[in-house]
Amino acid sequence: MSEALLSVRGLKVHFPVATGKLFGETPLVRAVDGVDLTLNKGETLGIVGESGCGKSTTGNAILGLAPVTAGEILFEGRDVATLTGRERQALWRDLQVVFQDPVSALNPKRTIAQSIAEPLAIHDATRARRQARVDELMALVGLRSGLRDRYPNELSGGQRQRVVIARALALEPRIVICDEAVSALDVSIQSQVLNLLLRLQRDLGLSYLFISHDLSVVRHIADRIVVMYLGTVVEEAPTDTLFSRALHPYTEALLSAVPIPDPAIERSKTKSPLQGDVPNPMDMPRGCPFVSRCPLREAGCEDVRPVPVIVASGHRLACHVREREITGRSALDTARTPEDPLT
């Protein structure tokens, strides 16, 4: 069995919204509303969903960049919230990030060598060590040593993202969170950077949390995929399983929108376009978050929140209708009154 490196349990991130009113309850945006996920050593876990589904906020909460309202974030079984200052500093060495836009991620007034060396300087590495490590990292990500004294505006988009990756690897992390790490790049450059990430994972034993809206990209790199909708997990499965036997109607709709290079297959495939609009995150449905757009909805779906259950090996699903089809029962059949999911 794979060993869990990172575990997230019941994670909630709620943001209060200023209304200008002096009295009354403050409305909340429930960006993440009870997420469970596990990242094992040496694997890539993909998180996918539409814009606003909470996938980036989940990554930011794990990084400590977004306030956690409730839940636990465990690193090798230890709750991050209980770590001492020194232990937390050690954790940040093990946990690094590659953001979407390398232009914003790099200081335009710093040379490439200075940007890559920045984490080493923060952690008090000697000047000689910083210079040697920069050389190692530039070679590792495929950057010529002659680029050391260049500035970000003198590099291509792919080269800038390689600089960001090199900086993320400076402290020899064990987990790298890639938040839309290739979405700002041309398709041909995307492929090069994805192959680089795969090689680095193989050579360095890295674990990736790979966040993206592009299922084609995630399919290329992820071992397992978590599908999020309105701050909740609606489905999780190994990548091959998800693409061959998606169960949740939201996942089916996302997959039907993925273009296939073969025109004949593209014309013949079944398409399940999403209907309606995403609900207001300040006025979440009491029951299933997907109920207003779901072609399978039944009476009761709007009242009872589905809980992700294991329906096959490694396959979790939060859908009353499909759960009943597979297991013969669901929470709707028991007429159980759930706890209010918004509290």
pLDDT band at 343 (very low <50, low <70, confident <90, very high): very low
Distance separating alpha carbons of residues 241 and 230, to the nearest angstrom? 23
Q: Domain of 205: which CATH number?
A: 3.40.50.300
Domain boundaries, position 68: 4-245
Q: How many CB atoms lie within 10 A of CB 310?
A: 11
**CB count in 10 Å sphere of residue 75:** 21
Look at residue 21 in the predicted model and tell me its pLDDT. 67
Same domain, 118 and 10: yes
What is the value of pTM for the model shown? 0.90
pLDDT at 240: 95
Residues 239 and 279 in one domain: no
Final residue of a domain: which of 201, 225, 245?
245
The yes-or-no verdict on residue 263 having pLDDT over 70 is: no
pLDDT in the model for residue 227? 97
Is residue 216 domain-shared with residue 322, that is, in the same domain?
A: no
pLDDT at 273 over 80: no
State the pLDDT at residue 262: 45
The pLDDT of residue 197 is 96
For residue 100, pLDDT over 80 is answered with yes
Instruction: Give the per-residue pLDDT at 161.
Output: 95
192-243, pLDDT tens digit by residue?
999 999 999 999 999 999 999 999 999 999 999 999 999 999 999 999 999 9
Are residues 149 and 285 part of one domain? Answer: no
Q: How confident is the model at residue 337 (pLDDT cuts 50, 70, 90)?
A: very low
Inform me whether the pLDDT recorded for 275 exceeds 90. Answer: no
If asked whether residues 240 and 256 sit together in one domain, one would say: no
Is the confidence at residue 280, as pLDDT, over 90? Answer: no
* Alpha-helical runs (H) found in 123-156: 127-140
Q: What is the pLDDT of residue 188?
A: 86
Q: Which residue has the higher pLDDT, 263 or 281?
A: 281
**Does 334 or 193 have the greater pLDDT score?**
193
Tokens of 296: 């399978």
Q: How far is CA 51 from CA 168, 194, 213, 278, 326, in A?
A: 25, 21, 7, 10, 30
Confidence band for 91, pLDDT divided at 50, 70 and 90: confident
Residues 277 and 297 in one domain: yes
* DSSP annotation string for 246-275: --SHHHHHHHHTS--SSHHHHHHS------
If asked whether residues 214 and 305 sit together in one domain, one would say no
Residues 170 and 133 sit within 8 Å (Cβ to Cβ): yes
Assess whether 221 and 256 both reside in one domain: no
Q: Each residue of 21-46: pLDDT tens digit?
A: 666 677 888 999 999 999 999 999 99
Note the pLDDT of residue 330. Answer: 87
- Are residues 298 and 287 both part of a single domain? yes
Percent over 90 (pLDDT), the chain: 68
For residues 118-131, give the mean pLDDT.
90
The last residue of one of the domains, among 189, 216, 245, is 245
208 CB burial (10 A radius; 0-12, 13-18, 19+): buried
Confidence of residue 265 (pLDDT cuts 50, 70, 90): very low
Which of 245, 270, 295 is the C-terminal boundary of a domain?
245
300 shares a domain with 154: no
Residue with more model confidence, 275 or 287:
287
Per-residue pLDDT tens for 147-186? Answer: 999 999 999 999 999 999 999 999 999 999 999 999 888 8
Q: pLDDT value at position 84?
A: 82
> Do 208 and 293 fall into the same domain?
no
User: Could you tell me if 234 and 252 lie in one domain?
Assistant: no
| CA atoms lying within 13 Å on the CB side of residue 184 | 19
Count of domains for the chain: 2
Confidence band for 260, pLDDT divided at 50, 70 and 90:
low
Please tell me the predicted confidence (pLDDT) of residue 1.
44
Mean pLDDT of the region 301-324: 94
Distance from the Cα of residue 236 to its chain's centroid: 12
